[in-house]
Structure 1
Amino acid sequence: MDAVGKRLARVRDQALSGVEPRGVRPAVRASWDRSRSSGVRPDRYLPPVALAENDVFERRREHPLARVWPTLERTLRTSLDGPGRILFLSDAAGHLLWVNGDRSTVRRAEQVNLVPGGQWSEEAAGTSGVGTTLALGRPFQVRGPEHYLSAATKYTCSAAPIRDPITGAVLGALDLTTEPLDGAEGLALSLVISTARLAELQLREYAHRQHAELQRRYVSRLASRLGSHSAVVAPDGRVVFADPVGWLPDRWYLPLQEGTTVLPDGRSVVIERLAVNGPFFVMAQEVEVDAAVVFGGLGLDRAWLRVDGVAHELTMRHSELLAILCAWPGGLSAEGLAREVYGPQGKTVTVRAEMTRLRRILGYRLASEPYRLVGPVRADFLDLEQDLPSGSIGGLLDRYRGPLLPRSVAPGIVELRARVHERLRTRVLAEGDPDSVVRWLAAPHGRLDRLP
C-alpha cells in the first residue's frame, strides 16, 4: 500500500473507532455516516447475494442496459487487460448484473461477493463505487480504505451512473474496479465517465428508432382502423408524434396512466402503454365500441378474441394464456401464469415475452403486476358455467360447442375444461329429459364419463 493508502487506512480506523475523522473527503465522510445509519457492519460482513442465477439471467434479458453492455465491454476491453481489473454493470438498485475481468481477479472478487446477483447499494454494502454513485447520482471514485466494508478496502472503484436519455432516470452504474491502488485512479474515472456517456448516446439512438417503429406499428394502424385522432407521448410527457398535427399540445401535463381519462377541454381519450417504461399511445374516443373483451374457446383449438369490435384468431398459446386470465379476474403473477400454462418447470421469461405480444392486441386492457384483464370481460365457458344452475338444458347444450381448447395440455386449461364439462354432464344426466340425454351421449365428447 502506498503513502496515500496508508493515510486513508489510518483515517478509516479512526472513524470506525469513534474518533472524528480528519483528512477524508466530505462525500466519503457523508457516505460513511449513511452506511452506519443503515446498519452496515464494517467487519465480518459481506453484502448479500440477493439474486439467484436464474433471477440474474432474467433481469439481464429485460434490462434496458442489456443493449449497451456489449459496447461497454468493447470500449473498455484494453483497460481490462492484465490482472487486477474488473468491470461491473449494476441495475438502479445496486444488483450486479454483468461482470467481466481476468479469471484470477474475478475469483478473488467472488470471495467478497463481487459477483452477479450481489447487492452493492449503500444500504447493503456501505460506501462503494456502485453504491455511492447510485446514492449521489453522479460519478464517484472510492479509493481502497475509503470503502466502508473492511473486505473491500483492497479495491479502488471508479463508477458512473447511466441514465435513461428520455426520462433522466438512473438505469444503473458502470464500475471499473482495480486492485490495489496503482496511481491510475484519475484516468480510470475519466474513462468510465466517457464510456457511460457513450452508452447513453447509444440508448438515445435506440429510443429514436423505437419511437419511429412504434409510430409505424401502432399509430398508423390503429388510426386507420378507428379513424381517430392519435398520438405517442414519451414518459417525460413530450408528444413525440400526433395525427393530425396539433390536436394535442406539445407536452402532456396529466398523469400518464393506462385507461380512459378526460382532457381539460372535456374530450375523452384512451391511454395505452406501449412498452414497460413507456412511451404511451393516446387515442381520442370518437367512436362507440363494445367496451368488453370477449373470448370464445369452447370446442376450438385456437380461440377467438374480440377487442374494440375487431375479432382476432389467437395462437394456441395465446388462447391458453387468455383463458386463464379470464378465469382469474384478480390476475396472476408471471410465476403463477407459468405454472398454469407450462407446468411446474415453466419460466417467467417465456410468459413475459408472450404477454408482450398479446399487448399488441389488448393494449391497455392487459395490465401487469399482476397480469390481468382490465374492464368488462366475457368468456363463453365462464358464461356457460354461470348459467348452469338455472339455464335450460337445451339452451346450455346449444351453447356448448365442445370442451374448452380440447387439444391443450396446459395444466390450468385441463382443470378448467374438466370442471365445466363435468358440471354440465352431471346436470344433463341427472335432470335432463330423454332427448337431451340422447343428444349429450351422441356428441363425441358426451360419450366420455369425464374428460381425461
Structure 2
Amino acid sequence: MTGQTHLMRADVRASWDRAQRRGLHPDRHLPDVGLAEDEVRTWRRDHQMASVWPILFASLESAAFEPGHVLFGGDADGHLLWVQGDPTTRRVAERANLVEGARWHEAEAGTNGVGTALALSRPFQVRGTEHYLSVAADFTCTAAPVRDPVTGAVIGVVDVTCKLRNMNSLALPLITTAARLAEAHLRDLARQRHAEILTRYRDRVLNRVGGHWALISQEGKLLDAAPSSWLPAVWPVPVIEGETELPDGRRVVVERLSPGGGPFSVYALPDQASGRQAPQVTSLGRNRAVLWMDGVVHELSLRHSELVVLLLANPDGLTAAALAEELYGNAGKTVTVRAELTRLRRIVGYRLSSDPYRLDSRIRTDFQQLEADVANGAVGDLRSRYPGPLLPRSQAPGIRRIRQRLHNRLMPDRPAE
C-alpha cells in the first residue's frame, strides 16, 4: 500500500489515509444502498437539489449520454438521488453500487468523485486506480459540490462518471460550470422568495413595532431593515425565537412571522438604562382592551381582548378546548379558537406559546393588579381606581365570571352587568 500511495496526488493520498483509518477494505467493501425506491422518490421531491436538477441535467445532458458516461446527482451526505446516462455504462456501474439510493460519501466509499468533492468542499476528479475501492478502479469520476448561495452551505453534489478510456480533460471545468449555473439559479429563486416575503410581511412588521426593526430569512439573511445598517447582513447568532443578545451586547426580540415556518421579524429592545417597560393590558371599563407593547399601542378586537384576559388569568395555560368553552360555552369549537389565536399571535408574537396556550406572565394587567390590591388593602381606598367592569360588552362565560368576581369585591352594592 505504501508503494502505491507515495506516487499519488496529495489530496488523494490524504483521502486514502482517511479511508484506512475508518477500516474500509478496498477489495471487500461496497457502499451501502441505504435508501429504498420510495425514499429516493421522496428525497428527490423534497430536497433543495430538486429545484436545480433540471439546470444540471440540461447543462450536462450531452456529456451524460455519450457512450461510457453516467450523470449523478446527490445530497450533501453523498446519497445518489439521480442517475442518468448511457444504459450500457449504467449496468456496469450497478455492479459497484453506483445506483440510486447508494451512499458514496467518503465514510462509506473511501476516495471517489462524489465523496471526495464533498469532503474537500470543491470540485475534484478521481481517476481510475485513485479510487479507494477496487470495484470503481475502471472509472474516472468528476464531481462538484453545489452550495446554497444564501448560507454558503453545501446542499448537494453533481458528478459525471465515465469509463477510464473515455476520460475527457474538459470534464472538470464543465462540471464546475454546471454547478455554478445551478447556484445562480438558486440565487435567483432566493431573490424571488425574499421579494415575496417583503411584500407579504413588511407592513405587518411596521404596524407592530417601532424603532429599529428588521426582517430576516430562516437562514439568517437580512432581507430588510430600518435603519438599514443597524444589523449585519447575516445573522451573527443562531436564529431562535424570543429575546436574545447580539455579540455586541444589544438585546433584541426575534419573532417568527408564520407558524409553519418562514421569516422572522427582529426589533431592538429599549436600552436597559432608559428603563424598559413591561407590556401592559388595560381592560377595565373598556369594551376593547388596549395593549401597550414595545412602544406601540394596540387596541384589540373584542375577541382578542377576551383571549388575552383569559390567558393572563390562567398563567398555567389553557388548551384550545378549554378556551373554546371559556369563550363560547358548550357550543365552542376549537378550530375557531385556533384561528383567532393565530391572528392574535401576529400582534403579540413570541409572547404567545402553545401546548397549552399561554401568554408571557410578564405582561401586566389592570384587572390582576386591582385584584392583588383588593387582597392586600382596604376596598374603600381602591374604588377610585376602578374605572368600570371588565370588558362590559363581553358575553364570554369565562370573562363574565372574572368580571363578576372582581366587581362583587369592589362594588357589592352595584350590578356589574
Per the TM superposition, whether the score is higher than 0.5 is yes
Match of 1:99 in 2: 83
Q: 1:252 to 1:295 in 2, by over 3 A?
A: same
Give yes or no for the alignment of 1:253 onto 2:236.
Answer: yes
Q: Distance in 1 between matches of 2:209 and 2:59?
A: 47
Within 5 A, what are the aligned runs for 1:44-443?
44-184=28-168, 186-224=169-207, 230-234=213-217, 238-243=221-226, 245=228, 248=231, 252-262=235-245, 267-272=251-256, 280-283=264-267, 286=294, 290=308, 295-296=320-321, 300=333, 302-305=335-338, 310=343, 377=357
Q: Distance in 1 between matches of 2:8 and 2:261?
A: 40
Residue 73 (structure 1) shift: 0.7
Q: Deviations over 1:66-87 (max 9, x none)?
A: 1110011111111123332111
Question: Is the contact between residue 144 and residue 181 of structure 1 (CA under 8 Å) also seen in structure 2?
Answer: no
Amino acid at match of 1:92: A
Residue 272 (structure 1) shift: 2.3
Residue 218 (structure 1) shift: 2.3
Amino acid at match of 2:183: E
Q: Distance in 2 between matches of 1:277 and 1:310?
A: 15
Match of 1:424 in 2: none
Residue 304 (structure 1) shift: 2.8
Structure 1 SS opposite 2:5: coil
Q: Distance in 2 between matches of 1:212 and 1:46?
A: 46
Question: Is the contact between residue 234 and residue 279 of structure 1 (CA under 8 Å) also seen in structure 2?
Answer: yes
Residue 39 (structure 1) shift: 1.6
Q: Distance in 1 between matches of 2:90 and 2:55?
A: 20
The share of aligned pairs that are identical, in percent, is 45
Residue 56 (structure 1) shift: 1.8
Match of 2:277 in 1: none
Question: Is the contact between residue 33 and residue 102 of structure 2 (CA under 8 Å) also seen in structure 1?
Answer: yes
- Larger gyration radius, structure 1 or structure 2: 2
Q: 1:273 to 1:125 in 2, by over 3 A?
A: farther
Residue 45 (structure 1) shift: 1.6
Structure 1 SS opposite 2:164: coil
Q: Distance in 1 between matches of 2:257 and 2:113?
A: 35
Question: Is the contact between residue 295 and residue 306 of structure 1 (CA under 8 Å) also seen in structure 2?
Answer: no
Q: Distance in 1 between matches of 2:259 and 2:334?
A: 30
Q: Distance in 2 between matches of 1:262 and 1:308?
A: 28
Question: Is the contact between residue 160 and residue 175 of structure 1 (CA under 8 Å) also seen in structure 2?
Answer: yes
Superposition RMSD in Å: 3.6
Q: Distance in 2 between matches of 1:235 and 1:301?
A: 30
Q: Deviations over 1:286-335 (max 9, x none)?
A: 258958786346764844316668359xxxxxxxxxxxxxxxxxxxxxxx
Structure 2 SS opposite 1:87: strand
Q: Which moved more, 1:54-63 or 1:192-201?
A: 54-63
Structure 1 SS opposite 2:114: helix
Structure 2 SS opposite 1:27: helix
Question: Is the contact between residue 295 and residue 303 of structure 1 (CA under 8 Å) also seen in structure 2?
Answer: no
Task: Please give the TM-score of this superposition, normalised by the length of structure 2.
Answer: 0.64
Question: Is the contact between residue 294 and residue 307 of structure 1 (CA under 8 Å) also seen in structure 2?
Answer: no
Q: Deviations over 1:70-109 (max 9, x none)?
A: 0111111111233321111111111111111133322322
Residue 181 (structure 1) shift: 2.6
Structure 2 SS opposite 1:256: coil
Residue 19 (structure 1) shift: 3.6
